[in-house]
Amino acid sequence: MTRKYVVRTYGCQMNEHDSERIAGLFDADGMDQADSEDDADVIVLNTCCIRENADNKLYGHLWRLKDWKDEKDGRQIVVSGCMAQKDKDTVQAKVPHVDVVLGTHNVHRAAELLDHATTHGPITEILNEAVIDDHALFPSALPARRSTSFNAWVTIQIGCDNNCAFCIVPAVRGREISRPFDEILDEVRELASQGVTEVTLLGQNVNSYGRDLNLELRRSGEDVRVTTMFADLLAQVGAIDGIRRVRYTSPHPKDMRSDVLLAMASTPSVCEHLHYPLQSGSDRVLALMHRGYTGERYLSRLAEARAMIDDLAVTTDIIVGFPGETEDDFVRTLEVAAEADFDSAYTFIYSPREGTEAAGMVEHFVDPAVIADRFERLRTVVEHSAVIKHQARVGRREEIIVEGASRRNEGVLTGRTRQNKLVHFPHKEMLRPGTYAYVDITYAAPHFLKGELVEITHVPTHKVRVPLLSVS
Ligand code: 5AD
Ligand code: SF4
């Protein structure tokens, strides 16, 4: 009988993309996707360790899965992703009923390791760094089962060369390596030929894309400037026939240059949305974090972006309670956030990650009650600008891409605007996900808009596939 699997994904889009690869490898190995855990023979937990509590949650979940495993012979549990990379052998030492532990650098080995565990018993395989081999290096080079098929993530770079004091990513994802330019274009062309119309370029620090490739050429004696190639990549991906929307995440404010903004402004398919992580507004805290910019510099770049790109939506990440953050520092974050006028912000409470520089600043940890109060104050500021930004869209006609039926109401469809805003609108006939249409915006809430369908502008041509489960 065909064995079935479920992949549960925690954390970021990079992880979601890795999950697609794991699913694709299992499919290629003759397995099928299960509808639920009850129906599954294999459960993969693709883990994240970037923020609080992930450790407790993962081990709690693994212990709860013991009963699931005992219920049926042959059931297997796989732990992959950043937490596996960080904890290595500890995962199986703590939870012996786990069958396979694999890290962030050997996603390509998922199916082989599962087979190995079936014949030889539990296995942990963690590589310390990426292997230089096309298929191993970039998740996008592996077969994928895409969760939605009108849009696709495309990895352009893995790892990160920065050393933000709070961040575990460089430790678990390794050094920054850019994927060859032509390989990315080939993948996007292939996706477009399958009917994909929207791509999101993924990397930890996308706007430094290509610097390492040029450096390598330079070292091998070629006369090239050691410069980044992200602007060029955006323009060329955006020019591929059939690609109607290009998004990317995440850029680093310290590396944001005018050429990228210009490419956004002059490539019609690149969406008017910039995710621009602020982290803090205080120059002192930004320096402690090693972010490489000041509040002023962040704001001036943002003003430049808005001047160059009409109707640009801006979102951000902000951390509250970084070690040593004073009331004055925090007030400066509030000021910069208010001035930046964000469309929305992901706000995080600082969480010490073992092995990072900030985790060692124990004597400067901020009192949790103070953090909770600051978190609320920040939320008020960002919600204020979010509501105003949303209200400004009422009465406008926007092009959306249909994502599917609303989870709460079958009679309502959900779509996304170019600015990445969610729009709910009633429908008489079902529209396939991936359909483009104009809607008139009639109502604004802080986290979504409502509208009325005006006309369909593009009917999708991709094949439908089954969604993966996503946890957070
Ligand atoms: N604590 C809290 N937030 C963090 N982030 C990264 N590391 C931490 C941490 N240790 C946030 C940053 C980053 C986002 C993906 O997660 O804001 O941009
Ligand atoms: Fe982490 Fe900083 Fe790299 Fe982003 S740029 S992944 S926050 S180290």
Q: Pairing between strand 245-249 and 198-202?
A: parallel
Sign, Cα dihedral of 185, 189, 191, 195: positive
> Among 252, 286, 318, 357, which is best to mutate for testing ligand 2, by the most ligand atoms less than 8 A from CB?
252
Produce one character per residue of 228-253: b if its CB has 16 or more CB atoms within 10 Å, e if not.
bbbbbbbbbbbebeebbbbbbbbbbb
- Closest-approaching ligand to the CA atom of 347: 1
Ligand 1 atom, smallest distance to 352 CA: 10
Residue nearest to atom 2 of ligand 1 (CA): 350
Within 6 Å (CB) of ligand 1, which residues are found?
50-51, 166-167, 277, 279, 317, 319, 348, 350-351, 353
Sign, Cα dihedral of 186, 189, 194, 196: positive
Maximum C-alpha span of the chain: 64
Q: Give CA 263 to chain center in angstroms.
A: 22
Q: Is the CB of 205 under 6 A from ligand 2?
A: yes
Sign, Cα dihedral of 159, 229, 280, 377: negative
Report phi then psi at 414, rounded to 5.
-120, 135
State in Å: Cα 319 to ligand 1 middle.
6
Ligand 2 atom, smallest distance to 205 CA: 5
Q: What would the two tokens of residue 312 be?
A: 């640009």
Q: Residue 127 is which amino acid?
A: L
Q: Give CA 307 to chain center in angstroms.
A: 27
Q: Is the CB of 169 under 6 A from ligand 2?
A: yes
Name every residue whose Cβ is closer than 8 Å to that of residue 35 and which is 6 or more positions away in sequence.
none
Q: At what angle do helices 327-340 and 295-308 cross, to 10 degrees?
A: 10
Please check whether residue 167 is in contact with residue 354, taking contact to mean a CB–CB distance below 8 angstroms: no
- Closest-approaching ligand to the CA atom of 48: 1
Q: pLDDT value at position 15? A: 87
pLDDT, tens digit, 9 for 90 and up, residues 376-400: 999 999 999 999 999 999 999 999 9
**What residue ranges in 62-217 does DSSP mark as E strands?**
76-81, 100-102, 123-125, 151-155, 157-158, 177-178, 198-202
Cα–Cα distance measured from residue 158 to residue 160, given in angstroms and rounded to the nearest whole number: 7
Ligand 1 atom, smallest distance to 351 CA: 1
Alpha-helical segments (H) within 72-167:
82-87, 90-94, 110-120, 134-137
- Closest-approaching ligand to the CA atom of 252: 2
- Closest-approaching ligand to the CA atom of 172: 2
> Among 14, 86, 166, 293, which is best to mutate for testing ligand 1, by the most ligand atoms less than 8 A from CB?
166
> Among 51, 82, 162, which is best to mutate for testing ligand 2, by the most ligand atoms less than 8 A from CB?
162
Q: At what angle do helices 368-391 and 327-340 cross, to 10 degrees?
A: 10
pLDDT, tens digit, 9 for 90 and up, residues 10-64: 888 888 889 988 998 998 888 999 999 999 999 999 998 887 677 788 898 999 9
Ligand 1 atom, smallest distance to 279 CA: 17
Q: Is the CB of 435 under 6 A from ligand 2?
A: no
Q: pLDDT value at position 138? A: 65
- Closest-approaching ligand to the CA atom of 315: 1
Q: At what angle do helices 295-308 and 258-266 cross, to 10 degrees?
A: 30
Residue nearest to atom 13 of ligand 1 (CA): 317
Residues of the chain with pLDDT under 50: 134-135, 466-468, 470-472
Q: pLDDT value at position 135? A: 47
Cα–Cα distance measured from residue 436 to residue 417, given in angstroms and rounded to the nearest whole number: 10
Task: State pTM to two decimals.
Answer: 0.86
Please check whether residue 58 is in contact with residue 85, taking contact to mean a CB–CB distance below 8 angstroms: no
Helices vs. strands in the chain: H and E counts, helices first: 15, 20
